[in-house]
């Protein structure tokens, strides 16, 4: 199903290869095919293949990378799965709301959903790379899901949203899919912009790098929420470069 082909499941530092196999099986039953593994403790293994059952082809085609940047650098939309509330709240949605957003992304956008370690989930730094956090509204008395089960729930919602879209064919300009004149920026481009923005703040002595408090995190949240396109980002980077130039020209 074409609407699901641009989705990738990213598993970070998975310790039990059996969970990778379970994830592949969950993905294949729902029609997702892109699996990216960031520094898995063990892979490939016979255990992963056994747990994958008939989804061993997803394991064979899985991409193993060393950094999160390699996994999501070219993505325009990134979700992070989290069951914990953070000090600085991020836009929080459930899997069904996440699926709705995926269906409304511009054509050609690449989308990643991050899953963290079995014992600790995603780090705060990893979650700060995400546009939205997805939380499965589980039983409050026992809100613990195995990573394979969590992937199954989210992949199911993605498939249901895609089937609903497919069952109601409409003209492209009425599909509900966001139309835009410029491609949205990738995660890699956003990281470059945020570094440039922070450097400019330092150049104008806007904040003390030894005591930044939560300034940088809040700036990151602001721009991730904005969802800039490439033209808008180039414009802002031009402004930042001009500010830096003027500061250096000052006597």
| pTM across the whole model | 0.90
Q: Is 104 exposed, middle or buried (0-12, 13-18, 19+ CB in 10 A)?
A: middle
Please report, in tens digits, the pLDDT of each residue of the chain (251 residues total).
Answer: 788 999 999 999 999 999 999 999 999 999 999 999 999 999 999 999 999 999 999 999 999 999 999 999 999 999 999 866 567 788 899 999 999 999 999 888 999 999 999 988 999 999 999 999 999 999 988 888 899 999 999 999 999 999 998 887 655 444 455 677 889 999 999 999 999 999 999 999 998 888 777 888 999 999 999 999 999 999 999 999 999 999 998 87
Domains of the chain in sequence order: 2-172 (3.40.1280.10), 187-249 (1.10.8.590)
Residue 167 phi/psi, 5° resolution? -75, -15
Report which DSSP code applies to 184. B
């Amino acid at each position: 199903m074409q609407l699901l082909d641009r989705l990738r499941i990213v598993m970070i530092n998975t310790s039990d290869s059996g969970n990778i196999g379970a994830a592949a099986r969950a993905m294949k039953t729902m029609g997702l095919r892109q699996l990216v593994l960031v520094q898995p403790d063990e892979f490939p293994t016979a255990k992963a293949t056994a747990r994958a059952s008939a989804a061993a082809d997803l394991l064979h085609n899985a991409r193993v990378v060393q950094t999160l940047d390699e996994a999501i650098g070219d993505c325009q939309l990134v979700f992070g799965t989290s069951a914990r509330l953070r000090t600085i709240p991020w836009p929080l949605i459930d899997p069904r709301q996440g699926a709705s957003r995926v269906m409304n992304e511009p054509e050609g956008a690449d989308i990643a959903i991050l899953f963290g370690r079995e014992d600790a989930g995603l780090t705060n730094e990893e979650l700060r790379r995400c546009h939205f956090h997805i939380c499965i509204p589980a039983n409050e008395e026992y809100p613990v899901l195995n990573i394979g089960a969590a992937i199954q729930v989210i992949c199911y919602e993605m498939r249901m949203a895609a089937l609903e879209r497919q069952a109601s064919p409409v003209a492209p300009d009425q599909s509900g899919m966001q139309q835009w004149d410029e491609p949205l920026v990738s995660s890699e481009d956003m990281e470059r912009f945020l570094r440039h923005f922070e450097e400019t703040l330092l150049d104008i002595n806007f904040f003390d790098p030894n005591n930044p408090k939560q300034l940088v995190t809040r700036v990151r949240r602001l721009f991730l929420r904005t969802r800039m396109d490439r033209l808008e980002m180039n414009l802002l980077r031009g402004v930042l470069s001009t500010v830096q130039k003027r500061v250096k020209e000052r006597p």
